[in-house]
Chain A
Amino acid sequence: MTDSQIHDRLHRAADPIDIDPEARLDALHAGARARVRRRRAGGLAAGVAVGLLVSVAAWQMRTSGARVAGAGPDLAGTIAYFSFQDGASLSARARTFDGGSDTPLVAESNFSPVEFSPDGTQLAYAQRAGDGTAMTVANADGSNAHEVGQGLGAEQLSWSPDGTRLAFIAQPGGDVAGNDVSILDLTTGEVTHLPGADGYWWDQIAWSPDGSQIALAGKLPQPDSVTGIYLLPLDGNALAPLKADATTEFMDWSPDGSQLAFSVRNVPWPADRADYQWDVAVIDADGSGFTQLTDRPGWDNFPVWSPDGQWIAFSSDRDASAAQLELNGSPDATTFGGVGMYVMRPDGSDVQPVLLVGDGAFVVATDWMA
């Protein structure tokens, strides 16, 4: 993994830096005592100010941590989501709206977004396996997990509409420009490379509901290239940009295949906090009708369509505490959090919380099945 020559040059450069850990440790313990005193004094002042500004209801919400929103919309189905805490533990869970259950799906720490099969009986994800990656297919409740496509280097995947194949993005193998997009036939094990997608660095993949094309989010291997959304027809026609004039991220097809929801960076790089500024948008499958659904200086990301096409779930820090919002946008941030799950109508209206979390926590929807 390590480049030995660069490793040697960096060690020759940095290892002579004189460091006295014992003196530093003594100073740290002395400083820690002073920090505690300052924090106690500052916390009291901040508490008075916040108490004047924040309503009792909002205070109760934020201090109660994760909870289901009370008078939420009438939602149905099961949503798969990442649950992330403090940069240390990442798991996938399933929330069923009808019965109100919330169960673990994947407890490992390195895996791709969980995708339900179109018939809702299975789920799939890619995860680390030894030095490489493998795809895992399991029952929809996470049981009976078994690896498929070992050695293919899959990092992101998407089900075919008939549930017989997985399209996947493979991790880069060596010093090559771009990564591969291929299809694994789950019945035969046959792998079909899609050369039409060569030459790009792909980050995400989504097979269209009618099976005719695959949406890919990625960029050209050039320093000034931005991540855009492209469509790869499976009839042999060439890859075509759908939305490549703005930095885009996570995308999801509407159930009828007429639109894609995705996240778009809402301020140009290198503006301050640009890494953090995302909004949710939709675009028609023919490239027209780009509409930004959210517009706020913060993090609205990871849109997922409901199975009936009536809602879009997304993650947002709009209800995070002021302190957490400052952390989220700061390059000094050590804990990105306060990111809850919300739904809105496909025109951006009627935003409602679904799952609220406290500071330091993070929930992100990845798929929603009936």
Chain B
Amino acid sequence: MELSAEHTPPVATTALDFDGCFRDLFPGVARAAALVARDRQLGPDIAQEAFARLFERRDRIENVDHARNFVYRVAINLARSHVRRRVAAPFGLSGPERETDDSTGSSAAWLDAVSALGDLSPKQRACIVLVDYADLDAASASAVLGMAEATVRVHLLRGRRALRARLDLPEEGSL
């Protein structure tokens, strides 16, 4: 019986090129986090925290895909946590979400996008950003978010429908 395998952390077979991984992934993770948090300044800070956690456990990261999933997962969770705190602070948990804080200097494209994303549920927003911005497939998004792939597809369907309506996009696209 090899029960020890149940708790033994995965050990990387080859050392992760952390710096190379950082350079490749950081901009995308930062911008994805910004979209989920709807805060341009916060995105890079969130991504940096996610990579700091990756750095701490880099000897347990098996490959680049594992690293990518890990940092996206941490970043999305941190971004959602930020949104939750922002919602809860002034109004209570069921209160309306406050406006984001970075309208100054933002492009119309940014303001339109974050306004539309604000109409989505946090999970829909995360799924949309991971798949339609970060180009993850549904399986990878499900691994990042810790939800069933079918659930990701449901969030994508609903989120895209809502987003298209808010952005005045014609009905198109499919799973």
Contact = CB atoms under 8 A, between A and B. Distances in A.
Interface stretch (A23-31, A229-237, A255-263, A301-309): A23-31
A324 to B, nearest CB: 12
B175 A5 contact: no
Contact of B114 (A13, A19, A203): A13
Interface in B129-162: 129, 131-133, 135, 137-139, 143, 146, 148-151, 153-154, 157-158, 160-161
Interface in B100-127: 107, 109-110, 112-114, 121
A37 B4 CA distance: 30
B164 interface: yes
A87 B69 contact: yes
A110 B55 CA distance: 27
A271 interface: yes
A65 B4 contact: yes
- Which of B6, B40, B77, B157: most chain A Cβ within 10 A? B6
Interface in A16-43: 16-17, 19, 21-22, 24-25, 27-29, 31-32, 35
A177 to B, nearest CB: 9
Interface stretch (A136-144, A190-198, A326-334): A326-334
Nearest to B24: A21
B30 to A, nearest CB: 5
Give the residue among A13, A102, A271 with the most B Cβ atoms within 10 A.
A13
Contacts of A146: none
B92 to A, nearest CB: 10
A48 interface: no
B53 A334 contact: yes
Contacts, number: 203
B98 interface: no
Contacts of A83: 6
Contacts of A359: 7
A175 B174 contact: yes
Given A1-B138, A6-B132, A21-B22, A270 B6 contact: no
B161 A175 contact: yes
Contacts of B149: 110, 155, 171
A333 B80 CA distance: 11
Interface residues of A, number: 72
A12 B77 contact: no
A17 B31 contact: yes
A15 interface: yes
B35 A331 contact: no
B6 A363 contact: yes
Given A1-B131, A14-B35, A86-B60, A9 B154 contact: no
B3 A66 contact: yes
B62 A171 contact: no
B10 A14 contact: no
Given A6-B160, A6-B164, A87-B73, A25 B4 contact: no
A345 interface: no
A31 B51 CA distance: 11
A334 B26 contact: no
Contacts of B23: 21-22, 25
Contacts of B148: 155, 203
16 contacts: A1-B137, A1-B175, A7-B132, A10-B128, A14-B43, A15-B31, A16-B109, A22-B23, A24-B51, A32-B56, A88-B66, A100-B1, A110-B149, A155-B148, A175-B174, A332-B74
Given A10-B35, A358-B7, 16 more contacts: A6-B164, A6-B173, A13-B110, A14-B32, A17-B40, A21-B22, A32-B52, A32-B55, A65-B8, A68-B3, A88-B62, A155-B150, A173-B175, A175-B161, A271-B93, A360-B9
Interface of B: 1-10, 19, 22-23, 26-27, 30-32, 34-35, 40, 43-44, 47-48, 51-53, 55-56, 60, 62, 66, 69-70, 73-74, 77-78, 80-81, 84, 93-94, 107, 109-110, 112-114, 121, 128-129, 131-133, 135, 137-139, 143, 146, 148-151, 153-154, 157-158, 160-161, 163-164, 167, 169-170, 172-175
